[in-house]
Structure 1
Amino acid sequence: MSDWERASVARVLAPARPRKLAKVPFVELADGRLQGVVSSGSDIGRVYVSSVAAGDYTFSCSTNNNRPCGGANGVFCNHIHALITESVLQYGAERVARYLRVEVAEADLDANALAWGMSGTRPTQGDSTAAALVFSRFLRHLAYLELPASTAPVPELHWFPTTRAVA
C-alpha cells in the first residue's frame, strides 16, 4: 500500500482554469445536477441558488430565501448561464458536458455551446427543493474560512481532499 493510500487525504484535480469567485463563489457537480451559488448583479446582499439537472436539464433558480428568480421564466436566466460558464472554468467543458449528458460537437465545446445544447431540448423549470441543501453546503464551506490559522488537524476535515503531494 502506497503512502497516499494510507493518508487521510485524497488527490484532487486542479481547476481547468482559474475562476473569479465574486460572481459564482460556489459551483459543484453533485446529486445529478450542476448546482451552485451565484451573486446577484443588482444587490450585493443577495445570492441565487441555481441548478441544472443532468439528462433532462430541469433547472431552478431562486434566492437564498427561496424567492424565485424573475429571469427564469421557462428559459435559462443569467444566473444559470453564469453557473455554466464558471463550471466550465472549474471542471472543463468535457467533464461538464459528460456529467450533464449534453451532446455538443467537440470543436464547439464551450459554455455557450453547452447552454445552447441544453436549451435545444426545451428544458423545464423545476422546483427549488434542492436549493436549501446547496446553500447550506455553501455556508458550511464558508465556515471553514473563518477557522483560525493552525497546523493542528481539524477532525471533521480528515476526509477533505488536498492538492498537497503525499510522499
Structure 2
Amino acid sequence: MSDWERSSTARVVPPARPRKLAKVPFVELADGRLQGVVSSGSDIGRVYVSSVTAGTYAFACSTNNNRPCGGARGSFCNHILAMVTEAVLQYGAERVARYLRVEPGDEVTAQTITAEMLRTRPAQGDTSAAATVFSQFLRHLAYLELTATTTPLPEMQWFPPTRAVV
C-alpha cells in the first residue's frame, strides 16, 4: 500500500495550466456534468452557477439566488463558455472532452469542444443541481479560511481508520 493510500487526504491533481480564479472561481467534473461558479461581469456581488451534462450537453445557468441567466436562452451563454475554457485550463482539453463524451476531431481545445457540443443543438436543462454546486463552492471557500494544521477536522471523521503498518 502506498503512502497516499494510507493517508486521510486525497491526491490533488495539479492543474494542466495555471488559471486566474477571478472569472471562474470554481469548476469541476462531477455528477456527470461539467459544473462551476462564474462571476458576473456586471455585478461584483452576483455569481452564476453553470453546468453542462455529459453526453446530452443539456445546459443550465442561473444566479446564486436561482434566477435564470438571460444569455442562456437556446444556446450556451458566456458563463458556460467561460466555464468550459477554465475547465480546459484546470483539467486539460483531452480530459474534459473525454468526460463530456465529445469527439472534437484532431485539435482538442475549449473552442472545438464547445463547437462540437453546440453542433448537436443541446437543450436547456434542469437547474436543480445549482444549489448543490453552489454549496460545494461555499464549502471550498470555507476550507481556504482555515489555518494550516495537522489536527483532524471533525467533518472528515467519516474516513475509515487506517491500519497500522507492521
TM-score, structure 2 length as denominator? 0.90
Q: Output one character per residue of 1:96-138: Cα deviation in whole Å (capped at 9) or x when no partner.
A: 00000011113x2100111100000000001210000000110
Question: Which whole-Å CA distance do the structure 2 matches of 1:3 and 1:142 have between them?
Answer: 27
Question: Which whole-Å CA distance do the structure 1 matches of 2:115 and 2:150 have between them?
Answer: 46
Task: Look up the equivalent residue of 2:7 and give its one-letter code.
Answer: A
1:55 matches 2:63: no
**Corresponding residue number in structure 2 for 1:90:** 90
Task: Look up the equivalent residue of 2:74 and give its one-letter code.
Answer: G
Aligned partner of residue 113 in structure 1, secondary structure: helix
Indicate conservation of the 8 Å contact 1:9/1:159, yes or no.
no
Q: Which runs of 4+ in 1 moved over 6 A?
A: none
**Corresponding residue number in structure 2 for 1:130:** 129
Question: Which whole-Å CA distance do the structure 1 matches of 2:11 and 2:131 have between them?
Answer: 29
How many residue pairs end up in the alignment? 159
TM-score, structure 1 length as denominator? 0.89
Structure 1 position 13, deviation (Å): 1.7
- 1:3-82 residue pairs with structure 2 within 5 A? 3-82=3-82
Structure 1 position 148, deviation (Å): 3.1
Aligned partner of residue 21 in structure 2, secondary structure: coil
Question: Which whole-Å CA distance do the structure 2 matches of 1:26 and 1:159 have between them?
Answer: 25
Indicate conservation of the 8 Å contact 1:8/1:159, yes or no.
no
**Corresponding residue number in structure 2 for 1:152:** 151
Indicate conservation of the 8 Å contact 1:38/1:49, yes or no.
yes
**Corresponding residue number in structure 1 for 2:120:** 121
Q: Output one character per residue of 1:24-80: Cα deviation in whole Å (capped at 9) or x when no partner.
A: 000000000000000000000000000000001000000000000000110100000
Question: Which blocks of at least 5 consecutive residues in structure 2 are unaligned?
Answer: 160-166
Question: Which whole-Å CA distance do the structure 2 matches of 1:141 and 1:53 have between them?
Answer: 22
Which of 1 and 2 has higher RCO (CA within 8 Å, sep 6+)?
Answer: 1
Aligned partner of residue 14 in structure 2, secondary structure: coil
Task: Look up the equivalent residue of 2:104 and give its one-letter code.
Answer: V
**Corresponding residue number in structure 2 for 1:165:** none
Indicate conservation of the 8 Å contact 1:24/1:39, yes or no.
yes
